[in-house]
Structure 1
Amino acid sequence: MPRAEGTGTGSAAVDPRELWLGTGGPRRGRKPAYSRETITAAAVALADREGLEAVTMRRVAAEVGAGVMSLYSYAPDKDTLLHLMVDHVSGELAVPPAPTGDWRADLKSIGHLQRAHMLRHPWLPAALATRRSLGPNILAFLEHALAVLRPTGLDGAAKMEVFAQLTSFVAGHVAHETTRAAAAGCPDQASTEARYLAEVAADGHHPELAEALRAPGRPLTPEATFTRFLNRLVDGLDTDGDPAAVTG
C-alpha cells in the first residue's frame, strides 16, 4: 500500500536494506511494463527541467505514460523516489583513479567533481540536505574518498565526518551559487549592494568592515571563488592531534 506522498521538505523513514538490496520492482503479478531505472530517470529529467518541487508521483507517472498507482510498486512515496534519484545521478560521478597519496590535492579534486555534478543537477543540494541514503553509486564514491583520506591517519569515524563536511560545504556553496546566478537577471543588484556597504563602512561604526573593503580585490568568477573557499576548508583540516577531532 502506498504511503502518503512526501512534501519534499523532509525525509520519510526509508529502510536502506529494502530499498537497495530488494528486487527493485513488483514481486508478483504480471510482468511489469516499467523498471525502477526508467521511472527514476524520468523523475531526474523532470527535476532538471523544472526543479525538485515539480517531482510528484503524478507528474512522474505522466512522464512515463503510466497510471500513478503503478509507480507505487517501485517507489511507495516521493521520499523513496528522491533517494533513488540522488543515487541515480551519483552514478555520473566517475570514480577517479587510485589516490595519489597527496590527500589534500585528492580531496580538492573530489570537491571540484562534486561541484560540477551539482551544477548539472541544481536540485541536488536540497535533496542531499535530508537524504543521505547510501545507495550503490554513492557507496562507490565514498569508498574512493575514504581511500583518499587513508594517509591522514584519521580513524574511520573521522574520515566519514570529513567526507560529510566536504559534501555539505559543496552543496551549500552550489545552492548559493545557483541562487546568485538566478538573480543575475537584476544587473543593478550588485551595484546597489556595493553602494550600501560603502555607506555603512563610512559611518565610523564598522572599522573592521571598512578595513576589509579596502583590501585588494580577488577574482570573482564562480570557479575562482569556489576554489578559494575549498582550499581554505581542506588546507585547514587538522590531522595532527586527536584523530577523532578534525577542525576547520
Structure 2
Amino acid sequence: MVNGKARKGGRGLKAIDPQDIVAAALRICDEQGLDHLTVRGLATELGIGTMTLYSYFRGKDEILDAIADHVLGEMVVPPADPADPAAVLRTVGYAFLDLMQAHPSVVQLFGTRVTTSQHSLKGGMEAVLTRLVDAGIRDDLAVRCYGFLITYALGFAHYQYPRTWGRGDSDEAAELRRQRRHFYASMPAGEFPTMVELSERLVSLPSDEQFEFGLSMFVNSVLAELKLPQR
C-alpha cells in the first residue's frame, strides 16, 4: 500500500487513504454482497482511477482481507462482570451477533476466507478468549465456548439475513410477519398439519428472541459444566 495519495473530485483534489477505500468497499459489500464488489466499481464509487486504487491494494482479495481486518479488529465486546460467567458468555454471543447484523458481508467473509491478520485476531479472538478465561472458563472449555458462540452467531445471522420479517418492530416487518404467517397457515393441512398448527410461532424462527433461546440453552449447559447454578 502507498499512503498520501490524492484523488480528483468535482472541487479539485481531495485526500484519500486506505481507510476511505476499506469503508467504501465495506459499504458496497454490506449493501450488495461480496460478488458485487469490483475494483473498477469501487474506484468509480470513490471518484478515483482504477490504477490509483491499485496503488493501495493489489486486487479484490487484498481489499477483502482489509475489510476482515478492519471489522474484526475493531470488534467491541461490552463490559460484563468477570465474576459472572453467564453474563460474559451472553455478552460475547450478542457482540458476535451485533457485528454480523451490522455487517452482513462478514458472514460471507467468514465462509470464504481465513484471516491471519494480527489486528483482526487481536480484536476478534484474543480479546474474546481473554474475557472467557478471566470469567473462569478455562482451557479446552474456553476454546469450545469461543467456537460455539462465533459459529452460532454466524449461522444464525446467515439464516436471519434474507428473512427480514425476523427483525424489528416496524410496520413493514409486522406486515411481512403477517404474510409469512398466512403462508404457513394456508399450506395443505393434510400434508403439513404440524406446520399449519404452529404457523403462529414459525414466523419467530429468524427473530432475535430465537437467538436468545439457543444462547440461553448453551449458557446453562456451560454453567452445568462449571457446576454453577443455571440461569
Q: Does 1:119 align with 2:101?
A: yes
Conserved? CA contact 1:107–1:145, under 8 Å: no
Sequence identity percentage:
26
Provide the residue aligned with 2:214 in structure 1.
229
Q: Does 1:26 align with 2:14?
A: no
Provide the residue aligned with 1:193 in structure 2.
184
CA, structure 1 residues 139+194, in 2 after alignment: closer, same or farther (shift >3 Å)? farther
The Cα RMSD (Å) is 3.4
- Structure 1: stretches of 5+ with no match in the other structure: 1-24, 203-208, 242-248
Displacement after TM superposition at 1:237 (Å): 4.2
Displacement after TM superposition at 1:189 (Å): 3.9
CA, structure 1 residues 134+236, in 2 after alignment: closer, same or farther (shift >3 Å)? farther
Partner Cα separation in structure 2 for residue 36 and residue 55 of structure 1: 16
Moved more, 192-201 or 182-191: 182-191
CA, structure 1 residues 200+235, in 2 after alignment: closer, same or farther (shift >3 Å)? farther
Displacement after TM superposition at 1:218 (Å): 9.3
Say which structure is richer in helix.
Answer: 2
Structure 1 residues 94-134: Cα deviation after superposition (integer angstroms, max 9, x where no partner): 24337523223212111112222222222221112122314
Structure 1 residues 58-84: Cα deviation after superposition (integer angstroms, max 9, x where no partner): 111112222212323332221221121
AA aligned opposite 1:229: G
Structure 2 counterpart of 1:146, from 115, 124, 129: 129
Partner Cα separation in structure 1 for residue 223 and residue 61 of structure 2: 36
Which structure has more relative contact order (CA 8 Å, sep 6+)? It is 1
Provide the residue aligned with 2:229 in structure 1.
none
Partner Cα separation in structure 1 for residue 122 and residue 53 of structure 2: 26
TM-score by length of 2: 0.71
**Secondary structure class of the residue paired with 1:101:** coil
Partner Cα separation in structure 2 for residue 104 and residue 219 of structure 1: 28
Moved more, 221-230 or 59-68: 221-230
**Secondary structure class of the residue paired with 1:100:** coil
Displacement after TM superposition at 1:149 (Å): 2.2
Aligned length: 203
